[in-house]
Chains A and B, each alone.
Chain A
Protein backbone atom coordinates (compact mmCIF):
# COMPACT_ATOMS: atom_id res chain seq x y z
CA UNK A 1 0.00 0.00 0.00
CA UNK A 2 1.25 3.45 -0.89
CA UNK A 3 2.10 5.81 1.97
CA UNK A 4 0.53 8.78 0.22
CA UNK A 5 -2.18 8.58 -2.36
CA UNK A 6 -3.87 11.48 -4.11
CA UNK A 7 -7.04 10.45 -5.86
CA UNK A 8 -8.30 12.77 -8.63
CA UNK A 9 -7.69 15.85 -6.50
CA UNK A 10 -8.97 19.20 -7.76
CA UNK A 11 -8.74 22.72 -6.39
CA UNK A 12 -9.54 26.11 -7.80
CA UNK A 13 -9.21 29.59 -6.34
CA UNK A 14 -11.97 31.54 -8.07
CA UNK A 15 -11.31 31.15 -11.78
CA UNK A 16 -7.78 29.89 -11.33
CA UNK A 17 -7.39 26.14 -11.46
CA UNK A 18 -4.45 25.17 -9.27
CA UNK A 19 -4.99 21.41 -9.25
CA UNK A 20 -6.92 19.51 -11.87
CA UNK A 21 -7.57 15.82 -11.47
CA UNK A 22 -4.21 15.12 -9.86
CA UNK A 23 -3.57 11.48 -8.99
CA UNK A 24 -0.27 10.55 -7.45
CA UNK A 25 1.10 7.87 -5.19
CA UNK A 26 4.25 7.91 -3.09
CA UNK A 27 5.57 4.66 -1.65
CA UNK A 28 7.07 4.48 1.83
CA UNK A 29 10.74 5.43 1.75
CA UNK A 30 10.66 6.86 -1.79
CA UNK A 31 12.35 10.09 -2.82
CA UNK A 32 10.23 11.87 -5.40
CA UNK A 33 11.17 15.16 -7.05
CA UNK A 34 8.57 17.64 -8.26
CA UNK A 35 9.36 20.20 -10.93
CA UNK A 36 7.26 22.61 -12.93
CA UNK A 37 7.16 26.24 -13.98
CA UNK A 38 6.01 28.98 -11.62
CA UNK A 39 2.30 28.77 -11.01
CA UNK A 40 2.16 25.08 -11.89
CA UNK A 41 0.48 24.30 -8.59
CA UNK A 42 3.43 22.70 -6.81
CA UNK A 43 3.11 24.50 -3.51
CA UNK A 44 -0.68 24.15 -3.60
CA UNK A 45 -0.18 20.42 -3.96
CA UNK A 46 1.88 20.46 -0.76
CA UNK A 47 -0.83 22.49 0.90
CA UNK A 48 -3.38 19.85 -0.07
CA UNK A 49 -1.22 17.08 1.37
CA UNK A 50 -0.23 18.93 4.56
CA UNK A 51 -3.74 20.19 5.24
CA UNK A 52 -3.28 23.93 4.69
CA UNK A 53 -5.44 23.80 1.57
CA UNK A 54 -8.77 21.97 1.38
CA UNK A 55 -9.28 20.36 -2.04
CA UNK A 56 -12.65 20.85 -3.75
CA UNK A 57 -12.58 17.39 -5.28
CA UNK A 58 -10.88 14.06 -4.79
CA UNK A 59 -9.40 12.22 -1.83
CA UNK A 60 -6.12 12.44 0.02
CA UNK A 61 -5.05 9.18 1.65
CA UNK A 62 -2.17 8.82 4.07
CA UNK A 63 -1.21 5.34 5.14
CA UNK A 64 -4.50 4.04 3.73
CA UNK A 65 -6.62 6.50 5.64
CA UNK A 66 -8.63 9.36 4.09
CA UNK A 67 -7.31 12.54 5.69
CA UNK A 68 -9.33 15.16 3.78
CA UNK A 69 -11.12 16.30 6.90
CA UNK A 70 -8.05 16.51 9.14
CA UNK A 71 -6.41 19.88 9.82
CA UNK A 72 -2.73 20.60 9.35
CA UNK A 73 -1.87 20.04 13.02
CA UNK A 74 -3.54 16.62 13.08
CA UNK A 75 -1.79 15.58 9.86
CA UNK A 76 1.51 16.69 11.30
CA UNK A 77 0.94 14.39 14.26
CA UNK A 78 0.06 11.56 11.85
CA UNK A 79 3.50 11.89 10.29
CA UNK A 80 3.32 14.41 7.47
CA UNK A 81 6.16 16.90 7.85
CA UNK A 82 6.59 19.98 5.71
CA UNK A 83 8.98 22.85 5.13
CA UNK A 84 8.08 26.22 3.68
CA UNK A 85 9.75 27.69 0.62
CA UNK A 86 10.40 30.86 2.59
CA UNK A 87 11.48 29.65 6.04
CA UNK A 88 9.12 30.64 8.82
CA UNK A 89 10.99 30.18 12.10
CA UNK A 90 9.52 31.44 15.37
CA UNK A 91 11.82 34.44 15.50
CA UNK A 92 11.66 35.25 19.19
CA UNK A 93 12.61 31.73 20.26
CA UNK A 94 15.97 30.08 20.17
CA UNK A 95 16.80 27.57 17.46
CA UNK A 96 16.60 24.84 20.09
CA UNK A 97 13.16 25.92 21.29
CA UNK A 98 11.93 25.93 17.70
CA UNK A 99 12.97 22.33 17.28
CA UNK A 100 11.92 21.21 20.76
CA UNK A 101 8.43 22.52 20.09
CA UNK A 102 8.17 20.32 17.01
CA UNK A 103 9.44 17.28 18.93
CA UNK A 104 7.02 17.82 21.79
CA UNK A 105 3.88 18.62 19.89
CA UNK A 106 4.47 17.32 16.39
CA UNK A 107 5.98 13.99 17.44
CA UNK A 108 4.03 13.93 20.72
CA UNK A 109 7.13 13.24 22.81
CA UNK A 110 7.60 14.12 26.47
CA UNK A 111 10.47 14.75 28.83
CA UNK A 112 13.78 13.11 27.98
CA UNK A 113 12.51 11.67 24.67
CA UNK A 114 11.57 15.08 23.35
CA UNK A 115 14.96 16.52 24.31
CA UNK A 116 16.73 13.65 22.56
CA UNK A 117 14.62 14.00 19.47
CA UNK A 118 15.28 17.76 19.33
CA UNK A 119 19.01 17.30 19.84
CA UNK A 120 19.07 14.64 17.14
CA UNK A 121 17.24 16.87 14.66
CA UNK A 122 19.64 19.74 15.39
CA UNK A 123 22.58 17.46 14.80
CA UNK A 124 21.14 16.11 11.56
CA UNK A 125 20.63 19.63 10.26
CA UNK A 126 24.05 20.74 11.56
CA UNK A 127 22.63 23.43 13.77
CA UNK A 128 24.11 22.41 17.11
CA UNK A 129 26.56 25.33 17.10
CA UNK A 130 23.76 27.89 16.87
CA UNK A 131 21.22 26.05 19.03
CA UNK A 132 20.95 28.81 21.61
CA UNK A 133 20.75 31.72 19.22
CA UNK A 134 17.43 33.45 18.59
CA UNK A 135 16.08 32.04 15.33
CA UNK A 136 15.65 35.52 13.88
CA UNK A 137 19.42 36.02 13.82
CA UNK A 138 20.03 33.15 11.39
CA UNK A 139 21.03 33.62 7.77
CA UNK A 140 19.23 32.00 4.86
CA UNK A 141 21.11 28.69 4.78
CA UNK A 142 20.66 28.18 8.48
CA UNK A 143 17.02 29.16 8.31
CA UNK A 144 16.53 26.51 5.65
CA UNK A 145 18.29 24.01 7.86
CA UNK A 146 16.10 25.00 10.78
CA UNK A 147 13.04 24.53 8.64
CA UNK A 148 14.28 21.03 7.90
CA UNK A 149 15.26 20.33 11.52
CA UNK A 150 11.81 21.31 12.71
CA UNK A 151 10.16 19.02 10.19
CA UNK A 152 12.50 16.17 11.18
CA UNK A 153 11.78 16.66 14.86
CA UNK A 154 8.09 15.95 14.25
CA UNK A 155 9.19 12.39 13.35
CA UNK A 156 7.63 12.38 9.90
CA UNK A 157 7.01 9.34 7.74
CA UNK A 158 6.48 11.62 4.79
CA UNK A 159 8.52 14.79 4.43
CA UNK A 160 7.47 17.54 2.00
CA UNK A 161 10.39 19.80 1.07
CA UNK A 162 9.53 23.05 -0.68
CA UNK A 163 12.52 24.52 -2.50
CA UNK A 164 15.10 23.93 0.17
CA UNK A 165 17.87 24.65 -2.32
CA UNK A 166 16.49 27.91 -3.70
CA UNK A 167 18.78 30.88 -3.20
CA UNK A 168 21.74 28.83 -2.03
CA UNK A 169 25.21 28.38 -3.51
CA UNK A 170 26.29 25.07 -5.02
CA UNK A 171 28.27 23.82 -2.00
CA UNK A 172 25.33 24.75 0.24
CA UNK A 173 22.94 22.87 -2.03
CA UNK A 174 25.24 19.84 -1.91
CA UNK A 175 25.22 19.99 1.87
CA UNK A 176 21.44 20.07 2.06
CA UNK A 177 21.16 17.30 -0.50
CA UNK A 178 23.36 15.20 1.75
CA UNK A 179 21.01 15.80 4.67
CA UNK A 180 17.99 14.89 2.53
CA UNK A 181 19.61 11.65 1.44
CA UNK A 182 20.49 10.69 4.99
CA UNK A 183 16.88 11.25 6.00
CA UNK A 184 15.67 9.06 3.17
CA UNK A 185 18.14 6.39 4.20
CA UNK A 186 16.20 6.09 7.45
CA UNK A 187 13.08 5.13 5.57
CA UNK A 188 11.34 8.49 5.47
CA UNK A 189 9.49 9.11 2.21
CA UNK A 190 10.33 12.50 0.71
CA UNK A 191 8.59 14.63 -1.87
CA UNK A 192 10.84 17.46 -2.93
CA UNK A 193 9.82 20.51 -4.96
CA UNK A 194 12.82 22.21 -6.49
CA UNK A 195 13.67 24.73 -9.15
CA UNK A 196 17.31 23.73 -9.00
CA UNK A 197 16.68 20.65 -11.11
CA UNK A 198 20.32 19.62 -10.94
CA UNK A 199 20.01 19.08 -7.20
CA UNK A 200 17.00 16.85 -7.73
CA UNK A 201 18.32 14.75 -10.57
CA UNK A 202 21.33 13.91 -8.43
CA UNK A 203 19.30 11.99 -5.89
CA UNK A 204 15.64 11.35 -6.70
CA UNK A 205 14.20 7.96 -7.59
CA UNK A 206 11.43 9.53 -9.57
CA UNK A 207 10.51 12.91 -11.00
CA UNK A 208 7.05 14.39 -11.45
CA UNK A 209 6.48 17.40 -13.67
CA UNK A 210 3.50 19.62 -12.93
CA UNK A 211 2.07 22.35 -15.16
CA UNK A 212 -1.22 24.20 -15.10
CA UNK A 213 -2.38 22.22 -12.08
CA UNK A 214 -1.96 18.82 -13.75
CA UNK A 215 0.71 16.15 -13.98
CA UNK A 216 2.56 16.36 -17.30
CA UNK A 217 5.05 13.56 -16.77
CA UNK A 218 5.93 11.10 -14.04
CA UNK A 219 8.80 8.65 -14.10
CA UNK A 220 12.58 8.22 -14.08
CA UNK A 221 14.28 11.61 -13.82
CA UNK A 222 16.17 11.74 -17.12
CA UNK A 223 13.25 10.26 -19.03
CA UNK A 224 10.95 12.92 -17.62
CA UNK A 225 13.34 15.75 -18.47
CA UNK A 226 13.69 14.40 -22.00
CA UNK A 227 9.93 14.14 -22.43
CA UNK A 228 8.74 16.45 -25.23
CA UNK A 229 5.71 17.52 -23.15
CA UNK A 230 8.02 18.62 -20.35
CA UNK A 231 10.31 20.45 -22.80
CA UNK A 232 7.30 22.28 -24.16
CA UNK A 233 6.17 23.33 -20.69
CA UNK A 234 9.60 24.74 -20.01
CA UNK A 235 10.17 26.30 -23.44
CA UNK A 236 11.84 29.62 -22.83
CA UNK A 237 11.55 29.13 -19.11
CA UNK A 238 14.22 28.76 -16.49
CA UNK A 239 14.81 25.01 -16.41
CA UNK A 240 18.39 24.04 -15.82
CA UNK A 241 18.89 21.06 -18.04
CA UNK A 242 21.53 18.70 -16.71
CA UNK A 243 24.59 18.86 -18.88
CA UNK A 244 25.27 15.95 -21.19
CA UNK A 245 27.25 13.33 -19.42
CA UNK A 246 25.86 13.91 -15.94
CA UNK A 247 25.28 10.54 -14.44
CA UNK A 248 22.07 9.19 -13.07
CA UNK A 249 22.36 8.32 -9.39
CA UNK A 250 22.75 4.80 -8.24
Chain B
Protein backbone atom coordinates (compact mmCIF):
# COMPACT_ATOMS: atom_id res chain seq x y z
CA UNK B 1 0.00 0.00 0.00
CA UNK B 2 2.97 2.29 0.62
CA UNK B 3 3.80 1.91 -3.06
CA UNK B 4 0.30 2.75 -4.17
CA UNK B 5 0.48 5.77 -1.95
CA UNK B 6 3.75 6.83 -3.58
CA UNK B 7 2.12 6.58 -7.00
CA UNK B 8 -0.92 8.58 -5.92
CA UNK B 9 1.19 11.28 -4.28
CA UNK B 10 3.44 11.33 -7.33
CA UNK B 11 0.48 11.92 -9.63
CA UNK B 12 -0.72 14.79 -7.48
CA UNK B 13 2.74 16.37 -7.46
CA UNK B 14 2.95 15.79 -11.19
CA UNK B 15 0.00 18.14 -11.69
CA UNK B 16 2.08 20.90 -10.21
CA UNK B 17 5.03 20.10 -12.48
CA UNK B 18 2.72 20.13 -15.48
CA UNK B 19 1.29 23.51 -14.50
CA UNK B 20 4.84 24.76 -14.25
CA UNK B 21 5.86 23.26 -17.54
CA UNK B 22 3.00 24.34 -19.77
CA UNK B 23 4.23 27.93 -20.04
CA UNK B 24 7.67 26.66 -20.95
CA UNK B 25 6.13 24.35 -23.54
CA UNK B 26 4.07 27.17 -25.03
CA UNK B 27 6.97 29.61 -25.31
CA UNK B 28 9.09 27.00 -27.01
CA UNK B 29 6.31 25.67 -29.20
CA UNK B 30 5.17 29.04 -30.52
CA UNK B 31 8.24 31.28 -30.54
CA UNK B 32 11.05 28.75 -30.24
CA UNK B 33 12.19 30.48 -27.05
CA UNK B 34 13.81 28.31 -24.41
CA UNK B 35 13.04 30.39 -21.38
CA UNK B 36 15.79 29.82 -18.86
CA UNK B 37 14.24 32.45 -16.59
CA UNK B 38 11.01 30.46 -16.31
CA UNK B 39 11.60 29.22 -12.77
CA UNK B 40 12.78 32.62 -11.56
CA UNK B 41 9.70 34.28 -13.01
CA UNK B 42 7.57 31.88 -10.98
CA UNK B 43 9.47 32.85 -7.86
CA UNK B 44 8.89 36.53 -8.66
CA UNK B 45 5.17 35.76 -8.77
CA UNK B 46 5.37 34.39 -5.25
CA UNK B 47 7.27 37.45 -4.02
CA UNK B 48 4.85 39.79 -5.74
CA UNK B 49 2.02 38.04 -3.90
CA UNK B 50 3.58 38.34 -0.44
CA UNK B 51 4.38 41.99 -1.15
CA UNK B 52 1.09 43.17 -2.65
CA UNK B 53 -1.66 41.01 -1.21
CA UNK B 54 -1.21 41.93 2.50
CA UNK B 55 -1.85 45.57 1.53
CA UNK B 56 -5.31 44.58 0.26
CA UNK B 57 -6.21 42.84 3.56
CA UNK B 58 -7.59 39.95 1.52
CA UNK B 59 -6.68 36.32 2.26
CA UNK B 60 -3.49 35.25 0.47
CA UNK B 61 -5.46 32.97 -1.86
CA UNK B 62 -6.56 36.17 -3.60
CA UNK B 63 -2.96 36.41 -4.75
CA UNK B 64 -4.07 34.52 -7.84
CA UNK B 65 -6.50 37.27 -8.80
CA UNK B 66 -3.90 39.96 -8.22
CA UNK B 67 -0.76 38.41 -9.66
CA UNK B 68 -2.00 36.44 -12.69
CA UNK B 69 -3.25 39.53 -14.60
CA UNK B 70 -0.07 41.45 -13.73
CA UNK B 71 1.98 38.60 -15.15
CA UNK B 72 -0.11 38.34 -18.30
CA UNK B 73 0.43 42.03 -19.05
CA UNK B 74 4.11 41.74 -18.08
CA UNK B 75 4.51 38.77 -20.41
CA UNK B 76 3.04 40.66 -23.34
CA UNK B 77 5.28 43.67 -22.72
CA UNK B 78 8.43 41.60 -22.20
CA UNK B 79 7.76 39.68 -25.42
CA UNK B 80 7.13 42.79 -27.49
CA UNK B 81 10.34 44.41 -26.21
CA UNK B 82 13.25 42.35 -24.91
CA UNK B 83 12.31 38.88 -26.16
CA UNK B 84 11.25 40.01 -29.65
CA UNK B 85 14.43 42.05 -30.00
CA UNK B 86 16.52 39.00 -29.13
CA UNK B 87 14.42 36.71 -31.37
CA UNK B 88 15.08 39.09 -34.26
CA UNK B 89 18.80 38.44 -33.83
CA UNK B 90 18.74 34.65 -33.45
CA UNK B 91 17.21 31.83 -31.39
CA UNK B 92 20.52 31.51 -29.56
CA UNK B 93 20.29 35.10 -28.47
CA UNK B 94 17.04 34.31 -26.65
CA UNK B 95 18.87 31.59 -24.76
CA UNK B 96 21.54 34.05 -23.63
CA UNK B 97 19.04 36.77 -22.86
CA UNK B 98 16.77 34.55 -20.75
CA UNK B 99 19.82 33.16 -18.96
CA UNK B 100 20.93 36.72 -18.22
CA UNK B 101 17.41 37.53 -17.08
CA UNK B 102 17.52 34.58 -14.72
CA UNK B 103 20.78 35.75 -13.14
CA UNK B 104 19.51 39.31 -12.78
CA UNK B 105 16.20 38.23 -11.26
CA UNK B 106 17.89 35.98 -8.72
CA UNK B 107 20.29 38.69 -7.60
CA UNK B 108 17.70 41.42 -7.42
CA UNK B 109 15.46 39.15 -5.34
CA UNK B 110 18.39 38.36 -3.04
CA UNK B 111 19.08 42.07 -2.66
CA UNK B 112 15.47 42.99 -1.94
CA UNK B 113 14.12 39.98 -0.03
CA UNK B 114 17.33 38.40 1.39
CA UNK B 115 18.16 34.70 1.08
CA UNK B 116 15.75 33.65 3.82
CA UNK B 117 13.07 31.18 2.90
CA UNK B 118 9.51 32.47 2.95
CA UNK B 119 6.14 31.04 2.13
CA UNK B 120 2.69 32.22 1.26
CA UNK B 121 0.52 31.37 4.22
CA UNK B 122 -3.01 30.33 3.37
CA UNK B 123 -3.80 28.81 6.76
CA UNK B 124 -5.67 25.53 6.95
CA UNK B 125 -6.32 25.48 3.22
CA UNK B 126 -2.89 23.96 2.79
CA UNK B 127 -3.27 21.30 5.49
CA UNK B 128 -6.80 20.16 4.68
CA UNK B 129 -6.83 16.67 3.32
CA UNK B 130 -8.95 13.58 3.03
CA UNK B 131 -8.07 9.96 3.67
CA UNK B 132 -8.74 7.28 1.07
CA UNK B 133 -7.79 4.59 3.58
CA UNK B 134 -5.46 4.38 6.54
CA UNK B 135 -2.36 4.83 4.39
CA UNK B 136 -3.32 7.15 1.57
CA UNK B 137 -4.13 10.73 2.47
CA UNK B 138 -4.53 13.32 -0.24
CA UNK B 139 -4.11 17.03 0.25
CA UNK B 140 -7.04 19.03 -1.09
CA UNK B 141 -4.74 21.81 -2.17
CA UNK B 142 -2.44 19.52 -4.20
CA UNK B 143 -5.45 17.87 -5.76
CA UNK B 144 -6.80 21.30 -6.69
CA UNK B 145 -3.48 22.19 -8.29
CA UNK B 146 -3.68 18.98 -10.34
CA UNK B 147 -7.23 19.92 -11.32
CA UNK B 148 -6.13 23.42 -12.29
CA UNK B 149 -3.28 21.98 -14.37
CA UNK B 150 -5.67 19.70 -16.24
CA UNK B 151 -8.12 22.57 -16.75
CA UNK B 152 -5.43 24.98 -17.93
CA UNK B 153 -3.91 22.49 -20.36
CA UNK B 154 -7.37 21.50 -21.63
CA UNK B 155 -8.42 25.11 -22.11
CA UNK B 156 -5.15 25.89 -23.87
CA UNK B 157 -5.54 22.89 -26.14
CA UNK B 158 -9.10 23.93 -27.00
CA UNK B 159 -8.03 27.53 -27.54
CA UNK B 160 -5.22 26.56 -29.92
CA UNK B 161 -7.20 24.02 -31.90
CA UNK B 162 -10.58 25.72 -32.15
CA UNK B 163 -10.49 29.47 -31.69
CA UNK B 164 -9.79 32.09 -34.34
CA UNK B 165 -6.78 33.48 -32.52
CA UNK B 166 -5.53 30.07 -31.42
CA UNK B 167 -5.49 28.80 -34.97
CA UNK B 168 -3.56 31.88 -36.02
CA UNK B 169 -1.04 31.30 -33.25
CA UNK B 170 -0.50 27.77 -34.58
CA UNK B 171 0.02 29.16 -38.07
CA UNK B 172 2.54 31.68 -36.81
CA UNK B 173 4.33 28.94 -34.88
CA UNK B 174 4.53 26.92 -38.09
CA UNK B 175 5.73 29.63 -40.50
CA UNK B 176 5.59 33.21 -39.30
CA UNK B 177 6.41 34.69 -42.70
CA UNK B 178 3.75 32.76 -44.55
CA UNK B 179 1.27 33.53 -41.78
CA UNK B 180 1.67 37.21 -42.54
CA UNK B 181 0.19 36.52 -45.94
CA UNK B 182 -2.94 35.39 -44.12
CA UNK B 183 -3.01 38.66 -42.24
CA UNK B 184 -1.20 37.55 -39.10
CA UNK B 185 0.76 40.18 -37.20
CA UNK B 186 3.14 37.71 -35.61
CA UNK B 187 4.68 40.14 -33.14
CA UNK B 188 1.30 40.75 -31.56
CA UNK B 189 0.49 37.03 -31.55
CA UNK B 190 3.82 36.21 -29.92
CA UNK B 191 2.85 38.76 -27.28
CA UNK B 192 -0.48 37.01 -26.74
CA UNK B 193 1.23 33.63 -26.41
CA UNK B 194 3.71 35.10 -23.92
CA UNK B 195 0.86 36.64 -21.93
CA UNK B 196 -0.78 33.22 -21.63
CA UNK B 197 2.52 31.57 -20.74
CA UNK B 198 3.28 34.15 -18.08
CA UNK B 199 -0.20 33.80 -16.60
CA UNK B 200 0.44 30.07 -16.16
CA UNK B 201 3.87 30.84 -14.66
CA UNK B 202 2.15 33.03 -12.09
CA UNK B 203 -0.34 30.26 -11.30
CA UNK B 204 2.50 27.80 -10.86
CA UNK B 205 4.67 30.19 -8.86
CA UNK B 206 1.89 31.02 -6.41
CA UNK B 207 0.97 27.36 -5.96
CA UNK B 208 4.62 26.63 -5.32
CA UNK B 209 4.86 29.41 -2.75
CA UNK B 210 1.81 28.03 -0.97
CA UNK B 211 2.98 24.42 -1.09
CA UNK B 212 6.51 24.95 0.11
CA UNK B 213 9.08 27.42 1.28
CA UNK B 214 10.78 29.46 -1.42
CA UNK B 215 13.89 31.61 -1.67
CA UNK B 216 15.39 33.71 -4.49
CA UNK B 217 17.40 30.71 -5.69
CA UNK B 218 14.45 28.28 -5.83
CA UNK B 219 13.83 29.05 -9.49
CA UNK B 220 16.64 26.87 -10.79
CA UNK B 221 15.32 23.57 -9.41
CA UNK B 222 11.78 24.26 -10.49
CA UNK B 223 13.03 25.12 -13.97
CA UNK B 224 14.78 21.75 -14.13
CA UNK B 225 11.59 19.88 -13.21
CA UNK B 226 9.57 21.85 -15.73
CA UNK B 227 12.12 21.07 -18.41
CA UNK B 228 12.06 17.40 -17.60
CA UNK B 229 8.27 17.34 -17.72
CA UNK B 230 8.25 18.98 -21.17
CA UNK B 231 10.91 16.69 -22.60
CA UNK B 232 9.45 13.50 -21.13
CA UNK B 233 6.01 14.40 -22.47
CA UNK B 234 7.29 15.44 -25.87
CA UNK B 235 7.98 18.93 -27.10
CA UNK B 236 4.98 20.60 -28.67
CA UNK B 237 2.35 18.37 -27.07
CA UNK B 238 0.35 19.97 -24.28
CA UNK B 239 -1.22 16.71 -23.10
CA UNK B 240 2.26 15.24 -23.29
CA UNK B 241 3.39 17.90 -20.85
CA UNK B 242 0.69 16.82 -18.41
CA UNK B 243 1.73 13.19 -18.72
CA UNK B 244 5.38 14.21 -18.49
CA UNK B 245 4.72 16.06 -15.25
CA UNK B 246 2.88 13.08 -13.81
CA UNK B 247 5.56 10.60 -14.89
CA UNK B 248 8.19 12.78 -13.28
CA UNK B 249 6.19 13.17 -10.08
CA UNK B 250 5.52 9.43 -9.79
CA UNK B 251 9.17 8.58 -10.51
CA UNK B 252 10.31 10.94 -7.77
CA UNK B 253 7.87 9.54 -5.23
CA UNK B 254 8.78 5.97 -6.07
CA UNK B 255 12.46 6.86 -5.73
CA UNK B 256 11.76 8.42 -2.37
CA UNK B 257 9.94 5.25 -1.35
CA UNK B 258 13.10 3.27 -1.89
CA UNK B 259 15.26 5.82 -0.14
CA UNK B 260 14.35 9.47 0.54
CA UNK B 261 17.69 10.53 -0.92
CA UNK B 262 16.73 9.01 -4.27
CA UNK B 263 13.77 11.31 -4.91
CA UNK B 264 15.41 13.73 -7.35
CA UNK B 265 17.72 11.06 -8.73
CA UNK B 266 14.83 8.80 -9.72
CA UNK B 267 13.18 11.66 -11.63
CA UNK B 268 16.41 12.41 -13.46
CA UNK B 269 16.93 8.74 -14.32
CA UNK B 270 13.49 8.48 -15.89
CA UNK B 271 14.22 11.67 -17.79
CA UNK B 272 17.49 10.22 -19.12
CA UNK B 273 15.79 6.93 -19.96
CA UNK B 274 13.14 8.72 -22.03
CA UNK B 275 15.84 10.75 -23.79
CA UNK B 276 17.75 7.58 -24.60
CA UNK B 277 14.83 5.43 -25.72
CA UNK B 278 12.41 7.99 -27.12
CA UNK B 279 14.20 11.30 -27.70
CA UNK B 280 11.05 12.98 -28.97
CA UNK B 281 9.27 12.27 -25.72
CA UNK B 282 6.26 10.10 -25.06
CA UNK B 283 3.85 12.17 -27.16
CA UNK B 284 6.17 14.08 -29.46
CA UNK B 285 5.14 12.90 -32.90
CA UNK B 286 7.03 15.24 -35.13
CA UNK B 287 10.24 17.17 -34.83
CA UNK B 288 9.68 20.88 -34.57
Contact = CB atoms under 8 A, between A and B. Distances in A.
A104 interface: yes
Given A105-B183, A106-B183, 18 more contacts: A71-B185, A72-B181, A76-B180, A84-B178, A84-B181, A89-B178, A90-B170, A90-B178, A91-B174, A93-B171, A100-B167, A101-B167, A101-B171, A102-B183, A104-B164, A105-B184, A106-B181, A150-B182
B248 interface: no
B186 interface: yes
A26 to B, nearest CB: 18
A55 interface: no
Interface string B176-203: 0111111111100000000000000000
Contacts of A106: 181-183
Nearest to B186: A73
Contacts of B164: 104-105
A220 B185 CA distance: 38
- The 6 A-B residue pairs with the shortest CB-CB distance in the complex, in nearest-first order: A106-B183, A72-B180, A105-B183, A88-B178, A102-B182, A73-B185
A213 interface: no
A99 B185 CA distance: 17
B175 interface: yes
Given A52-B177, A88-B175, A104-B164, A93 B170 contact: yes
Nearest to B286: A92
Contacts of A154: 181-183
Contacts of A89: 178
Interface string B31-45: 000000000000000
B174 to A, nearest CB: 4
Nearest to B178: A88
B168 interface: yes
Interface in B143-191: 164, 167-168, 170-171, 174-175, 177-186
A97 B166 CA distance: 12
A76 B181 contact: yes
Contacts of B175: 88, 90
B181 A74 contact: no
Contacts of B185: 71, 73-74
A50 B171 contact: no
A198 interface: no
A90 B186 contact: no
A151 B167 CA distance: 17
A82 B175 CA distance: 15
A100 B163 CA distance: 12
